[in-house]
Amino acid sequence: MFDKILIANRGEIALRVIRAAREMGVRTVAVHSTADADAMHVRMADESVCIGPPSSTDSYLSVPAIIAACEITGAQAIHPGYGFLSENAAFVQILEDHGITFIGPTAEHIRIMGDKITAKETMRNLGVPCVPGSDGGVPDAATARRVAGEIGYPVIVKATAGGGGRGMKLAKSEAEIERAFQTARTEAKAAFGNDEVYIEKYLGAPRHIEIQVFGDGKGGAVHLGERDCSLQRRHQKVFEEAPGPTIDAETRARIGKVCADAVASINYAGAGTIEFLYENGEFYFIEMNTRLQVEHPVTEAIFGVDLVREQIRVAEGLPMSFTQDDLVVNGHAIEIRINAEKLPNFSPCPGKITQYHVPGGLGVRMDSALYDGYSIPPYYDSLIGKLIVHGRDRAEALSRLQRALGELIVDGVDTTVPLFHALLQEPDIIAGNYNIHWLERWLEENL
Ligand code: ADP
């Protein structure tokens, strides 16, 4: 058993991990930048270590500082949360070399899935259906033109090192391919230091459906159904639900088994998410995330499991605490992401929280690191809270969300809460009738 783990993250996800560890009797070490000295994760952990100045590069992304914090405190393992170093294969390799346990998959699995071209190739070989596209990287504009012609327009040019919805460019016709190719490459180079791009068929009206998988690292794996994350702005999720409103039990079991079998066959360890676009009853793999997702609580709600506890158990070498047969869908859950952003431009809005009131009652969970008087620093992402509701069915979850939103008070900064008040009035949202383009169109018309 671990006596002590270090959490290489901040904000709500750091609290999420501290809570799971505390329930397991595992002590926790928080790390923080100088800008986060008063942050909730520092207050809640058993110990804390300041690892650098505000800039993430010099603190939450500083591998030497984090390893030193482990050595000073005697932490035996690191939970990376999401973002920051969670999908950094070089970091995981260094931990492996130092005898510190990484609570997550191996460096090798992170490396394979972190490169989207290799990830697609691996998944295709494991029998997972993929979006039609270039088989591998596209080196120059002439090849891009030829490959796109073969796939058929529209196509999307994507960065193989991509993430966070960046480095993707649409080409509707041959006239646009050269520009899309060059722009995607330039953006990929700037954002990820790697200008390799590939081309995929652009799907016109798909839903984003992702499958939660969990492996024991020894050839055993299960799936925990799907999440529908189609409500997106700039390819970033804002509202997620489980189960997916368009996925029936038979479809869930079928695609879930394909995914669980795929990760089992590579001895995958811990939590992972296999992302698909879903159109006309067909699944098309786009990428795999080798970490806990922001939206994992909706899965926890409908299956009644603690995914972080499970991650820690498997990292300790223990077996998973559930089998596929134990995992039965119960009701419906919805998560909304509350950002400190000013509408209509979604510009970041850091500042001091003057009043904070958390909703409660049956089926309501608020994951947030806010408190009265807290000052949101300007250096990090703008997610300040996740409101998750669980009901017996989708209708109950929706009315519970509306009720809980009415109780929530976050004063002092602008937030995306008004967006959700408006969305919950929309007949399409109430009916579950939306795809990955719905929100962009709605924002153009309504904000
Ligand atoms: P990232 O790693 O940057 O999140 P993804 O490959 O997961 O990139 O894609 C993010 C989102 O971009 C998807 O959820 C979808 O909305 C859109 N997208 C990606 N690939 C395609 C495609 N081939 N056709 C249409 N939309 C796509």
Q: Which long-range contacts (CB under 8 A, 24 or more apart) does 141-144 make?
A: 141/177, 141/178, 141/181, 141/182, 144/177, 144/178, 144/180, 144/181, 144/199
The 10s digit of each residue's pLDDT in 13-22 is 999 999 999 9
**7 close to 14: Cβ distance less than 8 angstroms:** yes
Instruction: Give the residue-averaged pLDDT of 321-334.
Output: 98
For a substitution probing ligand 1, which of 286, 290, 291 has the most ligand atoms within 8 Å of its CB? 286
Q: Residue 165: what pLDDT?
A: 83
DSSP designation for 317: T
The 10s digit of each residue's pLDDT in 417-426 is 999 999 999 9
For a substitution probing ligand 1, which of 233, 235, 295 has the most ligand atoms within 8 Å of its CB? 235
Provide the pLDDT confidence category of residue 167 given band limits of 50, 70 and 90.
confident
Q: Which 3-state string (H, E, C) describes 82-124?
A: CCCCCCCHHHHHHHHHHCCEECCCCHHHHHHHHCHHHHHHHHH
**142 close to 199: Cβ distance less than 8 angstroms:** no
Q: Residue 218: what pLDDT?
A: 97
Catalytic option among 291, 313, 337, 400: 291
- Ligand 1 pocket check for 64: Cβ under 6 Å: no
Q: What is the mean pLDDT of the chain?
A: 97
294 pLDDT exceeds 90? yes
- Ligand 1 pocket check for 165: Cβ under 6 Å: yes
Instruction: Give the residue-averaged pLDDT of 348-374.
Output: 98
Q: Report d(CA 89, CA 91) in Å as an integer.
A: 5
Provide the pLDDT confidence category of residue 328 given band limits of 50, 70 and 90.
very high
- Ligand 1 pocket check for 199: Cβ under 6 Å: no
The 10s digit of each residue's pLDDT in 151-164 is 999 999 999 999 88
Lowest model confidence (mean pLDDT) among 145-149, 160-164, 299-303: 160-164
Provide the pLDDT confidence category of residue 257 given band limits of 50, 70 and 90.
very high
Provide the pLDDT confidence category of residue 217 given band limits of 50, 70 and 90.
very high
The answer, as to whether pTM is greater than 0.95, is yes
250 pLDDT exceeds 90? yes
- Ligand 1 pocket check for 113: Cβ under 6 Å: no
42 pLDDT exceeds 90? yes
Q: Residue 406: what pLDDT?
A: 97
Q: Report d(CA 77, CA 7) in Å as an integer.
A: 9
- Whether residue 254 lies in the annotated active site: no
- Ligand 1 pocket check for 276: Cβ under 6 Å: no
User: How many whole angstroms from 442 Cα to the centroid of ligand 1?
Assistant: 19
The 10s digit of each residue's pLDDT in 100-109 is 999 999 999 9
Q: Residue 7: what pLDDT?
A: 98
Q: Is 218 helix (H, G, I), strand (E, B) or coil?
A: coil
Q: Residue 166: what pLDDT?
A: 86
Q: Report d(CA 151, CA 140) in Å as an integer.
A: 16
Instruction: Using the atom order of ligand 1, give the atom closest to the CA of residue 204.
Output: 25
- Ligand 1 pocket check for 152: Cβ under 6 Å: no
Q: How many CB atoms lie within 10 A of CB 446?
A: 11
Decide which of 219 and 135 is more confident: 219
DSSP codes joined into one string, 171-202? E-SHHHHHHHHHHHHHHHHHHHS---EEEEEP
Q: Residue 135: what pLDDT?
A: 83
